[in-house]
């Protein structure tokens, strides 16, 4: 059984040496505690963690810690997290500690990964290379089912590939999920008969783990062609239950709301990368990983590597589509593609519905910005004969 290697940035407490601090992480997450104990048996030594390396980094250090594979229950993500991201964050001997990344041995990846992955989602839409363009229904909550469907219809006419519920919209009384879903799918069918273009609608089935498969099955029965789950509020187990169920034959869009509670601070918490690896393992077909220049705080060089964790080779698992979202508008598209490549879903809510000529025009402007970028034509030049893009650039400029 291979070992799991974890990388932590940390700052020792003033009265603690770096090696003592790193040892404290190791002990706490494997076989130790704060003091010697009489109950330890010699055979347990094989389960002791090991500090492989400590090196200075910025205001602190990076420790490479080797966890014996045997301390993990293969396939139990919750237990993995209890080790690699458990009590250690509260240790007094550390002033700050951040889990940066993990190398997982194949024996600890008994998962099937995404059912569709990038290739499968592209096949549904009929693309091979270009970035997908998505929108989020806005206002994020409050619209009736009929008005939600009307917004979706306009976005589809404008050329989006994906429409999603916002992360806080599920099955509230003002917009019951089944009614919303049926109305949106009817409108997307109408749009498709006019445009010939397939559009995915990620309906947000976020709910408790013991009910989410049933919620997904019911949504598919009503015509859903994609499901959405908020992984950090619903739990990894909810996403895994949905993704691994054979009856769920549509892709799963994974939103990461709440992530910034632990990913944002560059000195303390959990970086997005190890979390992205776990979401890919349990079967997320698409996952938000941030923008190069949008509204959310981000460490953009991390986003590039986070997306690589979703797309790089990983024991034969399919790739997860990185979703670029948060304050995006057409003027930001070139920089996103330049920084993050074309295997991305560019998702804009306000950047489409806030267009001066409405949602369909906003969607067209996003598609035009993508086309201009792929043809290496500066946006302002391309806008000369693309009215919707011209209007968007006038409103928001080319780069924030």
Number of alpha carbons in the 13 Å side-chain half-sphere of residue 45: 2
Which stretch in 21-29, 93-101, 310-318, 348-356 sits in contact with ligand CAP by CB under 6 A? 348-356
Residue 166 makes contact with Mg ion by CB under 5 A? yes
Helix, strand, coil percentages, rounded to 5, for the chain: 45, 20, 40
In the block, residue with structure tokens 């910025």: 58
Complete edge-to-edge strand list for the sheet that includes strand 4-12: 50-57, 60-67, 4-12, 94-103, 269-270
| Minimum separation from the CB atom of position 342 to ligand CAP (A) | 18
Q: Which does 327 bind (CB under 5 to 8 A by kind): Mg ion, ligand CAP, none?
A: ligand CAP
Binding-site size, ligand CAP (CB under 6 A): 17
| Minimum separation from the CB atom of position 143 to ligand CAP (A) | 14
Number of alpha carbons in the 13 Å side-chain half-sphere of residue 129: 5
Out of 164, 183, 253, 255, which one is annotated catalytic?
255
Q: Which of 232, 9, 5, 4 is nearest to 100 (CA)?
A: 9
Q: Which does 3 bind (CB under 5 to 8 A by kind): ligand CAP, Mg ion, none?
A: none
CA-to-CA distance for 256 and 303, rounded, in angstroms?
Answer: 14
Residue 256 makes contact with ligand CAP by CB under 6 A? yes
Which stretch in 10-18, 107-115, 158-166, 218-226 sits in contact with Mg ion by CB under 5 A? 158-166
Helix axes 145-157, 177-195, angle to 10 degrees: 20
Of positions 166, 179, 186, 302, contacts ligand CAP by CB under 6 A:
166
Out of 138, 164, 288, 318, which one is annotated catalytic?
138
Positions 62 through 81 that interact with ligand CAP (CB under 6 A) = none
Q: Which does 250 bind (CB under 5 to 8 A by kind): ligand CAP, Mg ion, none?
A: none
| Minimum separation from the CB atom of position 288 to ligand CAP (A) | 4
Q: Token pair for residue 8?
A: 């932590």
CB nearer to Mg ion: pick between 166 and 186? 166
Positions 311 through 330 that interact with ligand CAP (CB under 6 A) = 325-328
Residue 349 makes contact with ligand CAP by CB under 6 A? yes
Helix extents (H) in the chain:
18-29, 77-84, 117-125, 145-157, 177-195, 209-221, 231-234, 236-244, 260-263, 272-282, 300-311, 333-340, 350-353, 359-374, 379-382, 387-396
> Is 255 a residue of the active site?
yes
> Is 138 a residue of the active site?
yes
Contact 125, 111 (CB under 8 A): no
Residue 165 makes contact with Mg ion by CB under 5 A? no
Of positions 123, 296, 378, 380, contacts ligand CAP by CB under 6 A:
296
Q: Which of 152, 161, 157 is nearest to 130 (CA)?
A: 161
Residue 273 makes contact with ligand CAP by CB under 6 A? no
Which stretch in 34-42, 54-62, 164-172, 292-300 sits in contact with Mg ion by CB under 5 A? 164-172
What is the SS3 assignment for 388?
helix
Q: Which does 147 bind (CB under 5 to 8 A by kind): ligand CAP, Mg ion, none?
A: none
Positions 123 through 162 that interact with ligand CAP (CB under 6 A) = 136, 140
Q: Which residues are catalytic?
A: 138, 255
Binding positions for Mg ion, rule: CB under 5 A? 166-167
Binding positions for ligand CAP, rule: CB under 6 A? 136, 140, 166-167, 256, 288, 290, 295-296, 325-328, 348-351
């Amino acid at each position: 059984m291979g070992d799991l290697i974890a990388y932590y940035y940390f700052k020792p407490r003033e009265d603690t040496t770096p090696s003592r601090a790193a040892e404290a992480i190791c002990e706490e997450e494997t076989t130790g505690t704060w003091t010697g104990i009489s109950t330890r048996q010699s055979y347990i030594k094989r389960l002791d963690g090991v500090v492989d390396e400590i090196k200075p980094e910025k205001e602190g250090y990076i420790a490479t810690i080797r966890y014996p594979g045997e301390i993990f229950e293969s396939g139990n993500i919750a237990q993995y997290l209890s080790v690699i991201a458990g009590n250690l964050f509260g240790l007094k001997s550390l002033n700050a500690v951040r889990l940066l990344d993990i190398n997982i041995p194949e024996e600890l990846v008994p998962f099937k990964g995404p059912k569709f992955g990038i290739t499968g989602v592209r096949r549904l839409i009929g693309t091979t290379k270009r970035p997908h363009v998505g929108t989020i229904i806005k206002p994020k909550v409050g619209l009736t089912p009929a008005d939600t469907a009307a917004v979706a219809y306009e976005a589809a006419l404008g050329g989006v590939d994906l429409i999603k519920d916002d992360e806080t919209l599920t099955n509230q009384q003002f917009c019951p999920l089944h009614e919303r879903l049926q109305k949106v799918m009817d409108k997307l069918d109408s749009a498709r008969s006019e445009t010939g273009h397939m559009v995915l609608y990620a309906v947000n089935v976020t709910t408790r783990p013991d009910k989410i498969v049933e919620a997904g099955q019911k949504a598919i029965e009503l015509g859903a062609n994609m499901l959405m789950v908020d992984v950090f509020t619903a739990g990894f187990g909810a996403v895994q239950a949905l993704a691994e169920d054979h009856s769920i034959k549509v892709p799963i869009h994974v939103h990461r709301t709440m992530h910034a509670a632990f990913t944002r601070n560059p000195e303390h918490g959990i970086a997005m990368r190890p979390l992205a690896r776990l979401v890919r393992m349990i079967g997320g077909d698409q996952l938000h990983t941030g923008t190069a220049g949008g509204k959310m705080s981000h460490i953009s060089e991390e986003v590039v590597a986070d997306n690589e964790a979703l797309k790089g080779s990983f024991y034969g698992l399919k790739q997860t589509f990185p979703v670029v979202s948060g304050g995006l508008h057409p003027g930001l598209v070139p920089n996103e593609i330049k920084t993050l490549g074309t295997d991305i879903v560019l998702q804009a809510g306000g950047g489409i519905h806030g267009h001066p000529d409405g949602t369909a025009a906003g969607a067209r402007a996003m598609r035009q910005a993508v086309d201009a970028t792929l043809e290496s034509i500066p946006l302002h030049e391309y806008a000369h004969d693309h009215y919707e893009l011209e209007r968007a650039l006038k409103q928001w400029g080319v780069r924030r």
